[in-house]
């Protein structure tokens, strides 16, 4: 993953019409990630995150939040919540 940190955070991405990335940076990104990339701008941190597009989003996102659910009690917690919903 490549993270480009802007020198000044943009407070409203709607105001940004164009982002200029130096050609050397583009070449570096293509060298590291090839040309099938996705990018996302984080409004809070002011970072532009560029990453290789996963072959499978299902595989790439599998297990996301696993630690959070384990801390909450795992499957037992989920079953308790579902039981509460059914009441």
46 and 78 both lie in a single domain: no
Average pLDDT over residues 79-86: 89
The pLDDT tens digits of the residues spanning 11-54 come to 565 666 666 778 888 888 888 888 788 888 887 887 888 888 88
| Residue 12, in any domain of the structure | yes
- The set of long-range contacts for 30-36, using a CB threshold of 8 Å and a minimum separation of 24, is 32/2, 33/2
| Residue 58, in any domain of the structure | no
Residue 7: pLDDT over 60:
no
* Residue 28 CB coordination number (10 Å): 13
| Residue 24, in any domain of the structure | yes
Expressed as residue numbers, the domain containing 71 is 63-87
pLDDT for position 68: 81
């Amino acid at each position: 993953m490549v993270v480009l940190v802007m020198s000044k955070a943009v407070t409203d991405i709607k105001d940004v019409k164009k982002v200029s990335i130096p050609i050397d940076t583009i070449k570096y990104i293509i060298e590291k990630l090839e040309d099938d990339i996705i990018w996302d701008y984080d409004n809070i941190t002011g970072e532009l995150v560029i990453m290789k597009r996963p072959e499978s989003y299902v595989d790439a996102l599998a297990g996301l939040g696993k630690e959070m659910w384990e801390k909450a009690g795992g499957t037992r917690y989920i079953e308790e919540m579902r039981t509460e919903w059914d009441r």
